[in-house]
Amino acid sequence: MSDLPDDFKCTITNWEYIYDLCRTVSTQVKRDDFEPDVVVALARGGWFAGRCICDFLGLNDLTSLKMEHYVGTAQKTGEPQVRYPMPEGSVEGKDVLIIDDIADTGGSIKRADEYVRERNAGEVRTATLQLLGTSDFDPDFVGERLDEWAWIVYPWNFIEDMIDLIAGVMERADQEAFSRAEIRRCLSEYHSVERIEMEIAQPNRLGEVLAEMERRDVIESEGGKWRLV
């Protein structure tokens, strides 16, 4: 389980913001005159960035490397490990750009860099859309540097993260049933997720998340309130 405190800060992002970070990384790659033959996107967070960067750089060769580090919202498994090896020969003799969404400790992208180099790649560079100040690894290209630690909720895992966050605050709060307003209050209290921030980044989606939590038997509704199952 995570060693984070119960009240860790979260920041919610949207597609446009992340797309701009992909453009920033691609611009840095071009300015550095690095011309990769293949982009290796770390699964799952790096998939969107990998595809966008291929578009920006005019590349067709995109492959994936699955690292296992986080198994849930802010829940680490320990040292990052390669879960699914890349196809044999997929990077051999090729210049490679490795991309991930974020470097927290930097462990995942550092291990990916080592793994790719072990497979006889040519020149290898690394990139992340966001880099936290807690990272021990400094990628070659960074879309944005964040001094303050926060759990970043990306558009591609918005529902997944919000389910974990909402279930967590409902479990910790001293009451059995919660209205929408009370859920929002707990998200603000425990994770600094303010209503206006969430509505700007992901408008009108709390109801969607609650409905999905019901579908997955995480919560049940009664009289306009929800409780954990």
Mean pLDDT, 10 residues at a time, over the chain (229 residues)? Answer: 67 98 98 98 96 98 84 60 84 97 94 95 98 96 95 96 96 95 97 97 98 98 95
Q: Tell me if the domain spanning 10-151 has CATH number 3.40.50.2020.
A: yes
User: Where along the chain do its domains lie?
Assistant: 10-151, 156-228
The vertex-65 CA angle with 83 and 130, nearest 5°, equals 110
Model confidence, pTM: 0.89
Give the pLDDT of residue 134. Answer: 93
The vertex-152 CA angle with 53 and 36, nearest 5°, equals 20
Top CATH class, 156-228: mainly alpha
SS3 60: coil
